[in-house]
């Protein structure tokens, strides 16, 4: 089957927020053909998808932050056999703006560079400072060329092809000096796509909403540096 959008959601013990996100997807999809795939990272909460048109893939045991690359590789393996024009990654703790699919498609399609590889759709104040060594974003009106990706984005199949459908193993040594830093998946994707000469973008006005709630993966870091969308 051919889809307009394939939405990939990773989740862990956030059933209430996840159900709200699924409701947002349903109310925004209009006449689009949307495939929703949920990758459950070993939740202990019971997830009930009765009467919801979703695919659920369970990860056991919980991979958590230090093995998030394993969870992400599961999403990469899944999309190999999915025929969709666009792919969208969403965490389980966001809500969608009105006309989400229309706006994501419109802004992504407005980027004319042949080196375009992805458009991040969650925007917070990190776009105004250096992130993973990438700074001085280029302004193109509704979007910025930032050259980094933080795992909430829209792309096409060429994104996965550019990464050979794989996230490399992230060594435990990453957390020796700072156990509170992130999973490393977004950082690796950013570095590899930059090395391949690809262009990475962010919307100026976030197309998802993220509030000041506790992080499941980066609790200590998010207390110090809150992730609140612009």
Residue with tokens 């105004």: 128
Split at pLDDT 50, 70, 90, the class of 105 is very high
Q: For 26-81, write each residue's pLDDT tens digit.
A: 999 999 999 999 999 999 998 899 989 999 999 888 888 899 999 999 999 999 99
pLDDT of the residue at 220: 41
Q: Write out the DSSP string of 122-174.
A: ---GGGGS-BTTB--PEE-SSEEE-----S-EEE-HHHHHHTTT-PPPPPGGG
Global pTM reads 0.93
CA diameter of the chain: 49
pLDDT of 212: 63
Q: Tell whether 229 is covered by a domain.
A: no
Identify the domain containing residue 10 by its residue range.
2-224
**pLDDT tens for each residue of 77-100:** 999 999 999 999 999 999 999 999
Count of residues in the chain: 230
Domains of the chain: total = 1
Tell me the per-residue pLDDT of 143-160, one tens digit each, with 9 for 90 and over: 999 999 999 999 999 999
219 pLDDT more than 50: no
In a domain, 130, yes or no: yes
Q: Are 3 and 83 in contact (CB under 8 A)?
A: yes
pLDDT at 132 over 80: yes
In a domain, 44, yes or no: yes
The answer to the question of residue 59 being in a domain is yes
Q: What is the mean pLDDT of the chain?
A: 91
- Residue 167 sits in a domain whose CATH number is 3.90.550.10
pLDDT (average), residues 185-201: 97
Please check whether residue 230 lies inside any domain of the structure: no
Residue 118 resides in a domain: yes
What distance in Å separates the CA atoms of residue 106 and residue 68, rounded to the nearest whole number?
A: 30
Residue 2 predicted with pLDDT over 90: yes
- The verdict on residue 169 lying in a domain is yes
Name the residue with higher pLDDT: 201 or 61: 201
pLDDT above 80 (res 124): yes
Give percent of the chain with pLDDT exceeding 70.
91
pLDDT at residue 228 is higher than 90: no
**pLDDT band of 223, cuts 50, 70, 90:** very low
> 11 lies in a domain?
yes
Residue 229's pLDDT band, with cuts at 50, 70 and 90, is: low
133 pLDDT more than 50: yes
């Amino acid at each position: 089957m051919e889809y307009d959008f394939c939405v990939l959601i990773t989740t862990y013990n956030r059933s209430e927020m996840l159900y709200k996100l699924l409701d947002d997807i349903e109310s925004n999809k209009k006449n689009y053909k949307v495939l929703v795939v949920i990758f459950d990272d070993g939740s202990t909460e019971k997830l009930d998808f009765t009467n919801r048109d979703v695919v659920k893939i369970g990860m056991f045991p919980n991979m958590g932050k230090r093995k998030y690359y394993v969870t992400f590789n599961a999403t990469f393996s899944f999309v190999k056999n999915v025929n969709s024009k666009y792919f969208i990654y969403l965490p389980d703790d966001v809500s969608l703006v009105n006309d989400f699919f229309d706006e994501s498609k419109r802004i992504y399609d407005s980027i004319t560079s042949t080196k375009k590889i992805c458009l991040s759709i969650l925007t917070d104040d990190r776009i105004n400072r250096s992130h993973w060594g990438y700074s001085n974003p280029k302004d193109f009106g509704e979007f910025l060329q930032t050259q980094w990706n933080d795992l909430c984005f829209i792309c096409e199949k060429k994104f996965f092809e550019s990464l050979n459908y794989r996230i490399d193993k992230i060594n435990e040594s990453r957390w020796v000096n700072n156990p509170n830093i992130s999973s490393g998946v977004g950082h690796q994707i950013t570095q590899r796509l930059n090395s391949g000469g690809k262009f990475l973008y962010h919307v100026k006005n976030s197309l998802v909403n993220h509030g000041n709630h506790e992080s499941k993966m980066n609790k200590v870091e998010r207390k110090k540096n809150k992730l609140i969308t612009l």
